[in-house]
Amino acid sequence: MKILFAASEAAPYVKSGGLGDVAQALPAELAKVKDVEVCIFIPYYKSIKDNPDIEVEFVKSFSVPVAWRNEHVGIFKAVSRSKKLKYYFIDNEYYFYRDGLYGHYDDGERFTYFSLAILEAMRQLDYYPDIIHCNDWQTALIPVLRKALYAGIYDHARIVFTIHNIEYQGKMPNEFMADVIGIDEYYRGVLTYNNCINFMKSAIVSADKITTVSRTYAHEIRHAFFAHGLQDILNENAYKLEGIVNGINTDLYNPAKDTTIFENYTFSDLSGKAKNKAELQKMLGLPVNPDVPLVAMISRLVSHKGLDLVEYVMGELMQRDLQFVVIGTGDSKYEDMFNFNAYVHSDKMSSNITFNPALANKVYAGADMFLMPSKSEPCGLSQLIAMRYGTVPIVRETGGLWDTVPPLNVETLEGRGFTFKGYNAHDMLGAVDRCIAFYGDKTKWNKHVKNLIKYNSSWKTSVQEYLRIYNEIM
């Protein structure tokens, strides 16, 4: 089986969020399966091109029409050690030699070009996959472009479209179809939704299968509160919608081998986790005290991550006997709020307005509890990483958080974390208080921490689900 994985980012080359992790880990696990060959297409961004540690080879160049203009396409390649996983980089300096991946005025045109370039590259490389797996709005035009421009060439290929976050849909003005996409007016109905061009809507209609990154999120996005306007079209296409929970790279996130943390540890010996906590407290300028629970948040600082709940009860939170560590960047109002509280409560709180993976791993390893009160969370990887390091999650019952963190029974130790259902600041604070109370029973706490480290959050089960879907639609 040949699988083409199309994404706007993929670690280890480039990553801004969870999509980058998934686009690294899922293809890598798929490539381990017998008779499965995977290639990944991503843009050749400035950050990749200027990195001297990344070795690529030039393959070929050609041009592709973007409506009324022809644009250059360069193809570069990198191959994994196993030879079963190939990365192809789409090179066009006008579109991709820029600082930052997203947020440019012409993102719609940039990723229309990217989708067109992938389809033409397949023909130029004489590569005809069985499955084309598209991800989020940046590659959502591929299904309709395949039908409009490459009919008869890739007809055997089946297309899977994965929604990682439905909030970002690729909405463009109606003129965009003629000015940039440049396909026949016959397809306007496929592309139009709520009086604008909507990339994601076109993929929902045109793809053979739609997946999301957790079972609960697949149910949630059929309702207006979560769907950001797409609930009707998703309900019409519900027969091809399915949720598969993401995994994490358990080799990369492994407290027994992680070289970025202060000391390695395993579930059979938690002394290393205690040392990580002490060293983290020392590094962040917090009192070194093993008896005070250390609560962590590692997040983009935006409202749908539940930060308005944290803001509402911050004063009460700081009255608790705890320490609080925050890492992330985002909206200035939340950055300022955390910085102010860290200044006022310097003995209890550390605010780190940065994107620093090495520091994040130190916090995952050194913290006791991980707070994730999201308003919506398609899957969430942070809670999985936290559990991998034996850090107890405190989450709201939504999306992938509900699928991966069943409520903990403190008597039987069944479940994984502390949860709250309503989007309410004091419900969240109550979950924090219950976790702090449980922390006082060190025997049960340590036993539960060991259970979390042993929990299998790898991609192995999810990969089998994707293979089932691929085979079904083929």
Task: Kindly give, in sequence order, each residue whose CB lies less than 8 Å from that of residue 51, ignoring residues fewer than 6 positions away.
Answer: none
* Burial tier of 302 (Cβ tally within 10 Å: 0-12, 13-18, 19+): middle
DSSP classification of residue 408: P
pLDDT (0 to 100) of residue 252:
87
Number of Cα atoms under 13 Å in the Cβ half of residue 177: 21
Kind and range of the H or E element at 189?
Answer: helix 188-191
Phi and psi at residue 42, to the nearest 5°: -140, 160
Note the pLDDT of residue 241: 98
Identify the pLDDT of residue 136: 97
Measured distance CA(329)–CA(16) in Å, rounded: 11
Give me the pLDDT at residue 83, please: 73
Q: Mark the ranges of the chain whose per-residue pLDDT is less than 50.
A: none
What gap in Å lies between CA 323 and CA 336, rounded to an integer? 19
Distances in Å between the Cα of 89 and the Cα atoms of 16, 46, 118 are 17, 11, 10
pLDDT the model gives residue 221: 97
- Say if residues 294 and 287 touch (Cβ distance below 8 Å): no
Do 316 and 429 touch, CB atoms closer than 8 A?
yes
- The predicted structure's pLDDT at residue 84: 77
CA distance 17 to 377: 13
Distance CA 36, CA 19 (A): 22
Burial label, 239 (beta-carbon count in 10 A; 0-12, 13-18, 19+): exposed
How many CB atoms neighbour CB 391 within 10 A?
Answer: 28
- pLDDT score recorded for residue 259: 96
pLDDT of residue 16: 85
Is the pTM here over 0.75, yes or no? yes
> Can you give the pLDDT at residue 314?
97
Distance of CA 327 to the CA centre of its chain: 17
pLDDT (0 to 100) of residue 17: 81
d(CA 344, CA 341): 5
- Contacts of residue 316, defined as CB under 8 A and 6 or more positions apart, other chains included, come to 429
